[in-house]
Structure 1
Amino acid sequence: MSDAIEAPARLDLGLPWHNSFAALGPAFFTELAPTPLPAPGLVCGNTALARELGLAPDLIGSPQGVAAFTGNLPLAGSRPLASVYSGHQFGVWAGQLGDGRAILLGELQTPAGPQELQLKGSGRTPYSRMGDGRAVLRSSIREFLGSEAMQALGIPTTRALCVTGSPAPVRREEIETAAVVTRTAPSFVRFGHFEHFAARDQLGDLRRLADYVIDRFYPGCRHGERLAGNPYAAFLEQVSERTAAMVAQWQAVGFCHGVMNTDNMSILGLTIDYGPFQFLDAFDPNHICNHSDEQGRYAYNRQPNVAYWNLFCLGQALLPLIGDQELALAALESYKTVFPRELEGRLGAKLGLGRAEAGDRELVEQILSLLAADRVDYTIFWRRLSQHVAGTGAEPVRDLFLRRDDFEAWLRRYGERLDRAGRAAAAQGMLRSNPKYVLRNHLGELAIRQAKLGDHSEVETLLALLQAPFDEHPGHDDKAGFPPDWASQIEISCSS
């Protein structure tokens, strides 16, 4: 008789599952298990998120945890599936898409509320469209760090629990190694889910999906008086407003998504699908971060209009339920009100202006124009300006500009405005609005290079900095400095 202890057939996370999306029915997904990977190992884990979810932090790195979060060991109570959706990609109707390399394990009931658990890179699904269903180490680390950076900046986003890696080869532009990101969110439903059923004239399923999302996430839409008491129009209005607020935050922090297809837009107003994203280095309103975006559709300054275009597509999909085109258009109008208001508020906070005054908009427009004219580093400018207001002197921020006279003239006007707002309160707010650390491309690239050699320490260091981006972190000033010359040569694409 052997004394060997057999490995469990499945892992129990100790939390109840609900799996509400799976209850929608087979029209919405295909049930299938993740495809195992050989010799998986932990690349990076997010113990802070594990605690928020009510999971034991050491579970992530345990052999069972690594196996489960790679897709090699089933989780007790989960119901793995790949969902189907459609969408517009680069402005063109792409037809049926779906989870081509992601598998939803189910919905956990956590101390932070219901959270879906999804494995990205877990193998082929019926929606892979000739793809291999895998993710690579490079893109997985970028998503892990990028989503947690956004979370710490206060921007709505999906989260990342961990990344596991495997020596299994994956072909992209070159041969790379496989990895899996475990992602969490209250829901991974996208605009494209609604487009899918509307395009196929499956109006019963369209209504079922809309009712599901409304009842779970927008229950107030059932009882409001706005928009003729139409719950589907109210739903569209709420999604428009959440999306407007999210994109305003992107613009304020200098975040470029890179691939704002309708299938990459969250119905909850979350930043989702971290592919060719980038935080701006030099401020260039026309910056295109996605090497695949040859027409510049998703350039930084076009993101607000693209978001509205995507919402219009969502409105078209919901029109059979709303039943009134004018009502649908009225619901979309809220975006045009909320986005500029939110952006103005965010930029005002970055300048420490307090209560809005006449002339604030001109002050903001002038500094953005100067930043663009001299291609000033976006993050460094705002941080140095915050430190100047806190009393460290103006010379470091002056040194960023070639057009010194123009900047001096602006700085005088700004100083007069600050005197009315109160400098002490302004400085305190600015240092909590203007991060010292963002995930610059070159920082991610250096961490990825080390990780490919088996050294994950740089990923862990970046995670710690990005989870507290407004703090000073003595000894790490190099990660808040100007990017090296080679950083501008980094190319990120839809395969990134």
Structure 2
Amino acid sequence: MPHLPPAPEPLDLPLPWNNRFAGLGEAFYAPLQPTPLPAPYWVGTSASAARWAGLDANHLDSPEVLQALTGNRLLQGSEPLASVYSGHQFGQWAGQLGDGRAILLGELNGLEVQLKGAGLTPFSRMGDGRAVLRSSIREFLASEAMYGLGIPTSRALCVTGSDAPVRRETVETAAVVTRLAPSFIRFGHFEHFCHHGMPGELKILADFVIDHYYPDCRTDARWNGNPYVALLAAVTERTAHMVAHWQAVGFCHGVMNTDNMSILGLTIDYGPFQFMDAYDPAHICNHSDTGGRYAFYKQPNVAYWNLFCLGQAMMPLIDEQEHAIAALETFKDIYPRAFAGRMAAKLGFSEVQVAHKPVIEGILKLLAADKVDFSIFWRRLSHWVRDEASAGDSVRDLFLDRAGFDTWLLSYSELLAHIPQAMAADLMLKSNPKYVLRNHLGEQAIQAARQKDFSMVADLLKVLETPYDEHIEFDAWAGFPPDWAAHISISCSS
């Protein structure tokens, strides 16, 4: 076990801390203290996330809170801990894992507050417990971008930085992200207690999740009164909807290990993620994923596989295998319907009809064949519908196969003629974001931040919080990526 630091000086800031996870018992976590970093500074803060957590956004200007959210001072009433879990990584059982650089402070107003990068924990294994500025900015912006898109996600309250060196492929500087979520419990928590033959703790965990996050599972009559089957079905449903939303906006997670899957169906652990530029279903955003396990088009199937791992972990509570399989099989119905609904909305249809399927499939094939920029296409199509087809060439010019696109557009226009065009355009502009966190934008913000210029971090946050708005002054950020963007390498290293 690594040497852990003593408790830092507490900060007397009256906050309504609740430490429910700490009440689960010593098998679930290790108590510890963050490791201080020298001379911290603010990198980025989200007033929106602060309001979401019921916190005073003015605290994010406080030098004392800066120290606390870097791990240099203890917030009075919090009980820092690192939770233990296990999991499958890249399809292989990895054994015990746990929070190797994340420290849970407790709950505020129903949200867990976690410091990522605040130092060693008993589960750091060969790591140093730190995060670097590069990955911390990416996670901060991605969390808030996903929230702005309406996708279930953890959020990021702030990023703090320090010039303390951290070695990855090269020497970088340290940073800490303060993350927020109703819970950071993962599929891997369940796998841990099942694999280690701890049915009592497995039941405590499942009951905790049901009672606090899925209370309807106690009264769900669909599963013979078994709340644990109901829980598995509910997690399956949330996960299916989350991944359908990913696929509809071109979001690649990059490392969908079971220990990175939220029991609440939230997008968590933003490592080698990417919003696609050119549409390529086979795109692999994680350079560490040499086998392509987490390619974009595989994400729904990986989610289903991960849910099966969760189902296996819950078998000591479910008993009957056919009940677990029945709960998991709901994914095969929920995901396609959710995805079709998202894609129909992108085309301006409020309800999915049988006639929409070939139009959806047809445009995705055309986008893939010509490697058309995913976000730009959908936004231009939205404007084409809004402007009564007066800007048709702006969409058509995106395709090499003009004849193929013209044929598709004719079929689409015939369907569109049956609904009010203004309503269709309004739905499309609310379903097709103008802005996503493209890799090159994040990279530019990181390079500026390394020079202590955090203005682009703040501006990107402003735009990504409301990505469906025009933000005319930032129009360039909605344009095509530069050629060098294709050479940005993102991996599991952070």
Matches within 5 A, 1:186-335: 186-335=182-331
The equivalent residue for 1:388 is 384
The equivalent residue for 2:451 is 453
1:432 is matched with: 430
Q: CA deviation at 1:62?
A: 1.4
**1:412-460 CA-partner distances (Å, limit 9, x unpaired):** 1111110112211000000000000000000000000000010000000
CA distance in 2, matches of 1:136, 1:335: 37
Structure 1 residue matching 2:61: 3-state secondary structure: coil
Question: Are 2:411 and 1:413 equivalent residues in the alignment?
Answer: yes
What's the offset of the Cα at 1:130?
1.0
In the alignment, the residues of structure 2 paired with residue 360 and residue 104 of structure 1 have an alpha-carbon distance, to the nearest angstrom, of: 46
| Amino acid in structure 1 at the alignment position of 2:353 | E
In the aligned structure 2, how far is the partner of 1:412 from the partner of 1:282? 24
User: What SS class does the counterpart of residue 37 from structure 1 fall into?
Assistant: coil
**Helix, strand or coil at the partner of 2:137:** helix
What secondary structure sits across from 2:247 in the alignment?
helix
Q: Find the counterpart in structure 2 of residue 471 from structure 1.
A: 469
The residue aligned with 1:4 is: none
Q: What is the CA–CA distance in structure 2 between the aligned matches of 1:475 and 1:185, rounded to whole Å?
A: 32
| Counterpart residue identity of residue 28, structure 2 | F
Q: Please give the secondary structure, in 2, of the residue aligned with 1:491.
A: coil
Counterpart CA distance in 1 for 2:409 and 2:11 is 59
Q: Which residue of 2 is the match for residue 401 of structure 1? A: 399
Gapped regions of structure 1 (runs ≥ 5):
1-7
Amino acid at match of 1:413: S
TM-score, structure 1 length as denominator? 0.97
The letter for the 1-side match of 2:445 is A
In structure 1, the partner of 2:39 is 39
Residue 175 of structure 2 corresponds to which residue in structure 1? 179
CA–CA distance in structure 1, aligned partners of residues 294 and 27 of structure 2: 32
For 2:76, give the aligned amino acid: A
Offset of 1:13 from its aligned partner? 4.2
Give the structure-2-normalised TM-score: 0.97
- Note the C-alpha offset of 1:51: 2.2
Structure 2 residue aligned with 1:71: 71
On the 8 A contact 1:354/1:421 being kept in 2, the answer is no
1:123 aligned residue: 119
CA deviation digits over 1:58-104, x for unaligned, max 9?
Answer: 21131101101001010011000000000000000000000000000
Q: C-alpha displacement at 1:9, in angstroms?
A: 4.2
Give runs of aligned pairs for residues 334-413 of structure 1, distance below 5 A.
Answer: 334-391=330-387, 392-413=390-411
One-letter amino acid of the structure 2 residue matched with residue 161 of structure 1: L
Q: Which letter does structure 2 place at the counterpart of 1:46?
A: S
2:17 maps to what in 1? 17
Match of 1:104 in 2: 104
Report the identity percentage.
Answer: 65
CA distance in 2, matches of 1:370, 1:153: 25
Mapped partners of 2:95, 2:123: distance in 1: 11
Query: What is the aligned partner in structure 2 of residue 60 from structure 1?
Result: 60
1:366·1:410 contact (CA, 8 Å) conserved in 2?
A: yes
Cα deviation, residue 47, structure 1: 1.1
Stretch of structure 1 that moved more, 206-215 or 221-230 = 221-230
In 2, the alpha carbon distance for the partners of 1:31 and 1:356 equals 50
Q: For residue 108 of structure 1, report the CA deviation from its aligned partner.
A: 1.1
How far apart in 2 are the matches of 1:158 and 1:53? Answer: 12
Task: Describe the superposition over 1:252-280 as per-residue Cα deviations: whole angstroms up to 9, x where unpaired.
Answer: 00000000000000000000000000000
Alignment of 1:2-13 (within 5 A): 9-13=9-13
- The answer to whether the Cα contact below 8 Å between 2:341 and 2:351 also exists between their aligned partners in 1 is no
Please tell me whether the aligned partners of residues 13 and 55 of structure 1 are also in contact (alpha carbons under 8 angstroms): no
> What SS is found at the alignment partner of 1:87?
strand
Query: Who is 1:481 aligned against?
Result: 479
Are the equivalent residues in 2 in contact too, given 1:164–1:180 (CA < 8 A)? yes
Q: C-alpha distance in 1, partners of 2:349/2:204?
A: 46
Is residue 2:134 matched to residue 1:155? no
Structure 1 residue 11, shift from structure 2 partner: 2.6
Q: What secondary structure, in the 3-state scheme, does the structure 2 residue paired with 1:432 have?
A: helix
Task: After TM superposition, list the pairs within 5 Å mapping 1:85-100 onto structure 2.
Answer: 85-100=85-100
Query: Helix, strand or coil for the counterpart of 2:246?
Result: helix
1:124 Cα offset (Å):
0.6
Q: Does 1:27 align with 2:23?
A: no
Residue pair 2:102, 2:116 contacting (<8 A) in 1 also: yes
* Structure 2 unaligned residues grouped into runs of 5+: 1-7
Q: Deviations over 1:309-360 (max 9, x none)?
A: 0000000000010010000000101111110000000000000023332221
